[in-house]
Structure 1
Amino acid sequence: MEKQPGRPIRKGPAVTLGALALVGVAGVAPGVPGADGQRAGERGEVVSVVPVAAHSRAEVARALRAQHIGAVPVRYGVLAYRVTYRTVDPQGRPTTATGLLTVPSGGGHRLGLVSDTHGTMANRSYAPSVAEAARTRSYLFAATGRAVAAPDYLGLGEGPGRHPYMDTRSAVTASVDMLHATRTAAGLLGRSLTGDLYVTGFSQGGQVAMALARAVQGGDAAGLRLKAVAPVAGPYDLEGTEEPALTDGRVNDVSGVFYLSYFLVAQNRLHPIYKDPAEVFRQPYAGRVERLFDGRHKDEDIVRQLAPTVRQLLTDRFYRQLREPTGGLLTALRANGHACDWKPEVPVRLYAGDRDTDVPIGNARTCARTLAQRGARVRVLEVGPVDHFGSDRAALAGIARWFSGGAAR
Structure 2
Amino acid sequence: MSKTNPAHPLSALTQPIRLSKPFTLTSLAICSSLVLAGCGNDSDNIFAVDEPEKISEATLIDAPVVTKTFTAAELKAAVATAGLSAAVDADPICGITVQYINHTTKGLKGEATNATGAVILPNNEGNNNKDCQGERPIMLYAHGTTPVQNYNLAALNDPENAAYETALLIAANFAGQGDIVIAPNYPGYDKSELDYAPYVTLQQGQQMLDGLHAGKLAIEKLATNKAAPTKVKASDKLFITGYSQGGYVAMAAAKALDDKGQPATAVSPASGPYALTAFADSIMSGNVIFGGTVFLPMLTRSYDNEYNNLIKGVYADKYAETAPNLFPTNDNLVGLFFAGKIPTTQLFQSSPTGYDILEALPAPTPKNAFGFSDKTYLFNTDFRAKYVQDMQSNPDGIYPAFTAPNGAVPVKSNLAVRKAFIDNDLRAYQPKSPMLLCGGNQDPSVTYDVNADAQARIWKSTAKQPFALIDMDLSNQEARSENDKSTYVTTLPPAVDKNVRAAAMAIQEKFTSNLTTLLTNTYQVAYAEAIEKGKSVAEAQAAGQTASYTEQLSSYHGMVAPYCLSAATVFFDQYR
Same fold (TM over 0.5): yes
Structure-2 residue corresponding to 1:299: 333
Q: Distance in 1 between matches of 2:234 and 2:88?
A: 28
Relative to structure 1, the CA distance from residue 303 to residue 133 in structure 2 (aligned partners, 3 Å threshold; closer, same or farther) is farther
Any residues of structure 2 matched to 1:318-397 within 5 Å, and which? Answer: 318-325=383-390, 326-338=414-426, 340-362=427-449, 363-372=451-460, 373-384=462-473, 385=512, 387-397=556-566
**Alpha carbons 2:387, 2:415 under 8 Å: kept:** no
Q: Distance in 2 between matches of 1:374 and 1:45?
A: 35
Structure-2 residue corresponding to 1:43: 57
Letter in 1 for 2:318: P
Q: Distance in 2 between matches of 1:43 and 1:294?
A: 27
Structure-2 residue corresponding to 1:23: none
1:180 to 204, 210, 213: 213
- Kindly indicate whether residue 277 of structure 2 is the aligned counterpart of residue 239 of structure 1: yes
Any residues of structure 2 matched to 1:190-339 within 5 Å, and which? Answer: 190=223, 191-219=232-260, 226-245=264-283, 247-249=285-287, 251-252=289-290, 255-272=291-308, 274=310, 276=312, 279-293=313-327, 295-304=329-338, 305-307=341-343, 308-311=345-348, 312-325=377-390, 326-338=414-426
Relative to structure 1, the CA distance from residue 280 to residue 146 in structure 2 (aligned partners, 3 Å threshold; closer, same or farther) is same
Structure-2 residue corresponding to 1:19: none
Secondary structure of residue in 2 paired with 1:333: helix
Letter in 2 for 1:133: E
Query: TM-score, normalization: structure 2?
Result: 0.59
Any residues of structure 2 matched to 1:44-63 within 5 Å, and which? Answer: 44-48=58-62, 49-62=64-77
Relative to structure 1, the CA distance from residue 331 to residue 297 in structure 2 (aligned partners, 3 Å threshold; closer, same or farther) is farther
Q: Distance in 2 between matches of 1:241 and 1:288?
A: 24
Letter in 2 for 1:77: G
Q: Structure 1 residues 112-121 or 299-308, which shifts more?
A: 299-308
Q: Unaligned 5+ residue runs, structure 1?
A: 1-10, 16-41
Structure-2 residue corresponding to 1:77: 95
Q: Distance in 2 between matches of 1:105 and 1:74?
A: 11
Relative to structure 1, the CA distance from residue 230 to residue 244 in structure 2 (aligned partners, 3 Å threshold; closer, same or farther) is same
Secondary structure of residue in 1 paired with 2:121: strand
Relative to structure 1, the CA distance from residue 364 to residue 273 in structure 2 (aligned partners, 3 Å threshold; closer, same or farther) is farther
**Alpha carbons 1:51, 1:81 under 8 Å: kept:** yes
Q: Which of these two proteins has the greater Rg computed from alpha carbons?
A: 2
Relative to structure 1, the CA distance from residue 321 to residue 112 in structure 2 (aligned partners, 3 Å threshold; closer, same or farther) is same
Relative to structure 1, the CA distance from residue 85 to residue 389 in structure 2 (aligned partners, 3 Å threshold; closer, same or farther) is same
Structure-1 residue corresponding to 2:503: none
**Alpha carbons 2:197, 2:328 under 8 Å: kept:** no
Letter in 1 for 2:57: R
Letter in 2 for 1:285: Y
Cα deviation per residue 1:370-395 (whole Å; 9 max; x = unaligned)? Answer: 33323343211112256111111212
Cα deviation per residue 1:44-101 (whole Å; 9 max; x = unaligned)? Answer: 2112211222233234335556332253362212221111111222222322111111
Relative to structure 1, the CA distance from residue 60 to residue 320 in structure 2 (aligned partners, 3 Å threshold; closer, same or farther) is farther
- Kindly indicate whether residue 154 of structure 2 is the aligned counterpart of residue 129 of structure 1: yes
**Alpha carbons 2:200, 2:249 under 8 Å: kept:** no
Letter in 2 for 1:401: V
Secondary structure of residue in 1 paired with 2:145: coil
> What RMSD, in angstroms, separates the aligned Cα atoms of the two structures?
2.5
Q: Unaligned 5+ residue runs, structure 2?
A: 1-8, 14-55, 125-131, 156-160, 224-231, 349-376, 391-413, 474-511, 516-555
Structure-2 residue corresponding to 1:400: 569
Query: TM-score, normalization: structure 1?
Result: 0.81
Relative to structure 1, the CA distance from residue 152 to residue 324 in structure 2 (aligned partners, 3 Å threshold; closer, same or farther) is farther
Cα deviation per residue 1:131-167 (whole Å; 9 max; x = unaligned)? Answer: 3234134312111101111111111121112234325
Measure how far apart 1:243 and its partner are. Answer: 4.3
Relative to structure 1, the CA distance from residue 380 to residue 84 in structure 2 (aligned partners, 3 Å threshold; closer, same or farther) is same
Letter in 2 for 1:101: V
Cα deviation per residue 1:85-137 (whole Å; 9 max; x = unaligned)? Answer: 11222222322111111111222132210100011122221232343234134
Give the share of equivalent positions with the same residue, in percent: 21
Cα deviation per residue 1:164-221 (whole Å; 9 max; x = unaligned)? Answer: 4325233112110111111111111123211210010111010010111122133266
- Kindly indicate whether residue 160 of structure 2 is the aligned counterpart of residue 119 of structure 1: no
**Alpha carbons 2:200, 2:248 under 8 Å: kept:** no
Relative to structure 1, the CA distance from residue 302 to residue 379 in structure 2 (aligned partners, 3 Å threshold; closer, same or farther) is farther
Cα deviation per residue 1:296-322 (whole Å; 9 max; x = unaligned)? Answer: 434334444312410121121112234
Q: Distance in 2 between matches of 1:228 and 1:286?
A: 42
**Alpha carbons 1:115, 1:197 under 8 Å: kept:** yes
Letter in 2 for 1:124: Q
Relative to structure 1, the CA distance from residue 271 to residue 321 in structure 2 (aligned partners, 3 Å threshold; closer, same or farther) is farther
Secondary structure of residue in 1 paired with 2:191: coil
Secondary structure of residue in 2 paired with 1:206: helix
Letter in 2 for 1:365: D
Relative to structure 1, the CA distance from residue 262 to residue 93 in structure 2 (aligned partners, 3 Å threshold; closer, same or farther) is closer
Q: Structure 1 residues 55-64 or 207-216, which shifts more?
A: 55-64
Relative to structure 1, the CA distance from residue 167 to residue 402 in structure 2 (aligned partners, 3 Å threshold; closer, same or farther) is closer
Q: Distance in 2 between matches of 1:70 and 1:395?
A: 12
- Paired positions, count: 363
Letter in 1 for 2:381: D
Q: Distance in 2 between matches of 1:310 and 1:216?
A: 36
Cα deviation per residue 1:242-301 (whole Å; 9 max; x = unaligned)? Answer: 54136533522xx1111112212221222255464xx22223211222342254434334
Relative to structure 1, the CA distance from residue 89 to residue 79 in structure 2 (aligned partners, 3 Å threshold; closer, same or farther) is same
Q: Distance in 2 between matches of 1:248 and 1:313?
A: 13
Letter in 2 for 1:236: Y
Q: Distance in 2 between matches of 1:152 and 1:274?
A: 26
